[in-house]
Amino acid sequence: MLHGKVAIVTGGAIGIGAATAKILAAQGATVVIGDINQQAALQTTEQIRSADGHALFQPCDVRNEADIQALVQFALEQGGLDIMINNAGIGGQPAPLHLTENHNWQRVLDIDLTGVFWGQKYASQAMLATGKGGAIVNVASIAGVGGSPNLGPYGVAKAGVIQMSKTGAIELASAGIRINAVCPGWTETAILEGFEPSAHERMIRSIPLKRMGTPQEIAELIVFLASPAASFITGAEYIIDGGITSM
């Protein structure tokens, strides 16, 4: 379904991004992974290649504007840019907002908000230049939908990502560029490693489906939104959380 398309996945080395890169490649896309974790990213590209997919790695720290510009340029050199998945993100140090350290606030905003802004900005410019339209999926979180106690900077950044997706979607709809946000709930990835086992148990108890999501489940939704099957969907925020936000 995605043969001939070129896709970028930021933070595609592990977790939700790696699962997304694998499905995109399995559907025929050439996937460019941009990440700071070179070793894991190369492992993921190798796994994709050994399954007969096309994958490349371009080092990219989303805190650096020039890295993102180079990532987009690298994708264009592979034949174009049809799909941009702005997925790279961190959780930050858990603390209530009134005790959040300024450097933690800034670090989370730099990666989770400004990094997505640059990803959306330069991918949009590239898609406008090719004139073929495209699809951008920004990975937000349910933390950006409601209040997110002890994850203040993260929630603020993710709320910003949802807003940025909607604004860009309206601005670029006439150019055939669709932009959507995916809002996962708790998902089994390394991002949760900092939490105590008791916190994991509390999280699972709070989920109506009584388990966390898998990276594969989140990735399936991301790829659907990036694919022609979602051709009438833009400016939407998709919650995928095992039912938490419906409570």
- Interaction site with ligand NAD (CB under 6 A): 10-11, 13-17, 35-37, 60-63, 87-90, 111, 139, 141, 184, 186-187, 189-192
The answer to whether 113 and 92 are in contact (CB under 8 A) is no
Lookup result for tokens 């997505």: 116
The dihedral region occupied by 83, where left means phi > 0, alpha psi between -120 and 50, and beta the remainder, is beta
- Residue 110 or 132 having the CB closest to ligand NAD: 110
Minimum distance, C-beta of residue 183 to ligand NAD, in the bound complex (Å): 7
CB atoms within 10 A of CB 222: 27
Helix (H, G, I), strand (E, B) or coil at 44: helix
* Annotated active-site residue in 154, 181, 237, 241: 154
- Residue 10 or 165 having the CB closest to ligand NAD: 10
Known catalytic residue at 154: yes
Minimum distance, C-beta of residue 26 to ligand NAD, in the bound complex (Å): 18
Minimum distance, C-beta of residue 13 to ligand NAD, in the bound complex (Å): 4
For 216, list phi and psi in degrees, rounded to 5.
Answer: -60, -45
And the tokens for 247?
Answer: 């409570």
- Residue 174 or 223 having the CB closest to ligand NAD: 223
Measured distance CA(175)–CA(188) in Å, rounded: 36
Torsion over CA: 48, 54, 58, 60 (sign): negative
- The two beta strands, 54-59 and 177-184, are unpaired
- Residue 17 or 53 having the CB closest to ligand NAD: 17
Minimum distance, C-beta of residue 89 to ligand NAD, in the bound complex (Å): 2
Q: Which residue numbers are catalytic? A: 154
